[in-house]
Structure 1
Amino acid sequence: MRWGRLLLALVWAMAIYLASAQPGGQVGLSSPWDKFAHAAAFGVLAWLLRTGGLPLAASLGLTALYALSDEFHQLYVPGRQADLLDWLADVAGAMISLGIDPGSDPAIRNKGPRM
């Protein structure tokens, strides 16, 4: 384990929490730019977890769960709302930063029709 990276991941997660606790009128990003911000923020979190020594699946799973909790948290912030598309952007950013290409898995790719 690389404890310094995991500590940075914790600090980054707290920064995400503080940013998502801002009331809706103070955010300032409109669609689609907010999706890029979501992808970048959670991509960094996933990368910090992975380079901190967590397995790939754990890095992606923890990031996706934290993103889900972030969306739930926003239900209670004035002017904010939970959004499935935001969560999908979070997970996509994590997958990109971890280099996960769903189409590259041989088990998936070889399921096509045989000729």
Structure 2
Amino acid sequence: MTKKIKIHWGIKCALAFGYAYGIYVASSTDTSSVSLPNHIDKLIHFVEYGILCLFVCWVVSSFQIKSAKMFYLLAFGITSLYGMFDEFHQSFIPHRSADVLDWLADTAGAATACFLWHVFIRKNKASNRLLTDR
């Protein structure tokens, strides 16, 4: 039998906030000298906010929210709002601008992460509970 390691929710929060701060720092830098292929920035937004949403799901899972709808609404909402804040923040950075399409890519990444969390984590926990309750 393997022993489960419990990670305190404060540590989970610190890791999530650290990652979010990394996004903030990255979006504060001047990227005018960086040349990327067309639309690759949308893929970057999609992936980085998908990862952020997985961190947020991890934090939210500490609070034993029974309603799956509320769980995903919180995780998705927090991540999407942070993406909106990040785009607003970029509007004040020289050589950067706010872009609704970037925010949509952030939001799509968050939605995909919620789906993946549901398929690989939340469903597995539910099926494991069913097996151990017998």
Using the size of structure 1 for normalisation, the TM-score is 0.79
| Residues 24, 78 of structure 1: 8 Å contact kept | no
Would you say 1:21 and 2:28 are equivalent positions?
A: yes
Show structure 1 runs of 4+ deviating over 3 A. Answer: 26-30
Q: Which moved more, 1:79-88 or 1:21-30?
A: 21-30
Where in structure 2 are there 5+ consecutive unaligned residues?
Answer: 1-7, 62-70, 117-134
Alignment partner, residue 2 of structure 1 = 9
Q: Which runs of 5+ in 1 are unaligned?
A: 101-115
Which of 64, 76, 91 aligns to 2:92? It is 76
Q: 1:86-109 CA distances to partner (integer Å, 9 max, x unpaired)?
A: 000000001111107xxxxxxxxx
1:62 aligns with 2:69: no
- State the partner residue of 1:11: 18
RMSD: 1.7
Aligned length: 100
How far did 1:25 drift? 1.5
Q: Counterparts of 2:31 and 2:104 in 1: how far apart (Å)?
A: 20
Q: Could you tell me the percent identity over the aligned residues?
A: 36
